[in-house]
Amino acid sequence: MALEVGIVGLPNVGKSTIFNALTAAGALAANYPFATIEPNVGVVAVPDERLATINKFQPTEKIIPAAIRIIDIAGIVRGASTGEGLGNKFLSHIREVDAILHVVRCFGGGDIIHVEGSVDPIRDIDTIDTELALADLETVSSSLDKSERMARTGDKDAIARAELLKRCRDQLNQGKPVRSLQIDEDEKKALRQLGLITAKKVLYVANVDESDLAGQNEYVQAVRQRAAAEAGGVVPVCGKLESELSELAAADKKEMLESLGLKEPALAALTREAYKLLGLQSYFTAGPKEIRAWTIPIGATAPQAAGVIHTDFEKGFIRAEIYALDDLVQHKTESAIKAAGRMKAEGKNYVMRDGDITHFLFNV
């Protein structure tokens, strides 16, 4: 199942440009008319050079990278929670996502006038946070009423839930996101059921101009400080440049990147940073039919990793046969890896490592 992120931002900050670039100018997107409150949806491959390396030693019919599903939400404006713009109806589209990509404009000048009349990324972040906080406040208040009624019966779980929701309510009343609250893992699980938008981790996408591709200007530095306070991340992206790159053939794209002194498009770094932010990693399966990257949380066990392929694999897990990419590069074939004693048989307690190449044995 693909990782799912919602992309948000004020109008005219470059959100749609970056969304279109991410989805190769819409080639992978299932687009809906802008006039509706339905979002645009795109599926983006996670760049991973290891897949090509595996393919050097394992011929295959197809290569399937890990994927991120991106939901593009209509531009949020000040007052959205009270019905301005498209109102807050569209917010339901991002209640189920794993994380949020928040695009902020971090360059001055240009032909496009900022919706607020000036460039101030922190003000823009506050505007979005306030609207999302107000939407969450409605959810929390409703849930708190129910929990308080149950708490009066002496139900311990309801009492604990009510206390947690009160803390969330106080945080949201200040226009602050729930993610900046200090809460433990059990509390996080309880909140996850509510689908609170401001509880989700945020990766800020600083839209910069072509003269500042590394994002060194004061605007980006301010966003980095904000992200650090929230345990979030920041990736500088030049939407205009990425849009141009997305429309080029592979050879032309490589030539343009080299002329700019870049190894890869910034959007490749963005997808990897989203993985890092959410504590995710990939393992691989490799055979003549397909070489494939699978997404799992860091710390997942071998049976849990098998379950990503099919729930039956987890239920009937017997063992995993695992080797590393370095072993494949050194020994060339799986039989040679086995002969060298580098193919490891791992049981139910094995914790998967990033880049493990795996065969699962199971019984159903």
pLDDT in tens, 292-304: 999 999 999 999 9
Q: What CATH architecture applies to the domain 3-277?
A: 3-Layer(aba) Sandwich (3.40)
Mean per-residue pLDDT for 158-177? 91
Residue-level pLDDT at 26: 37
pLDDT in tens, 77-120: 555 555 554 445 556 677 778 899 999 999 987 666 666 678 89
Residue-level pLDDT at 169: 95
Least confident segment among 57-61, 71-75, 144-148, 236-240? 71-75
Mean per-residue pLDDT for 325-344? 97
Mean per-residue pLDDT for 343-349? 97
CATH number 3.10.20.30 is the correct assignment for the domain at 299-362 = yes
Mean per-residue pLDDT for 309-321? 96
Mean per-residue pLDDT for 316-340? 97
More confident residue, 150 or 290: 290
Residue-level pLDDT at 95: 79
Numbered ranges of CATH 3.40.50.300 in the chain: 3-277
Percent over 70 (pLDDT), the chain: 88
Distances (CA, A) of 164 to 63, 136, 150, 322: 45, 14, 14, 42
Residue 341 pLDDT exceeds 80: yes
Q: Which helix (H) or strand (E) holds 297?
A: strand 290-297
Give the three-state DSSP class for 260: coil
Residue 353 DSSP label: -
Question: Alpha helix locations (H) across the chain?
Answer: 15-22, 49-57, 121-151, 156-173, 185-192, 218-229, 239-246, 250-259, 266-277, 302-309, 311-315, 325-331, 334-339
Q: Predicted confidence band at 317 (pLDDT cuts at 50, 70, 90)?
A: very high
Percent over 90 (pLDDT), the chain: 49
Least confident segment among 79-93, 152-166, 180-194, 338-352? 79-93
Numbered ranges of CATH 3.10.20.30 in the chain: 299-362
Q: Predicted confidence band at 74 (pLDDT cuts at 50, 70, 90)?
A: low
Mean per-residue pLDDT for 117-133? 89
Q: Which helix (H) or strand (E) holds 357?
A: strand 357-362
More confident residue, 26 or 76: 76
Residue-level pLDDT at 340: 97
Residue-level pLDDT at 247: 87
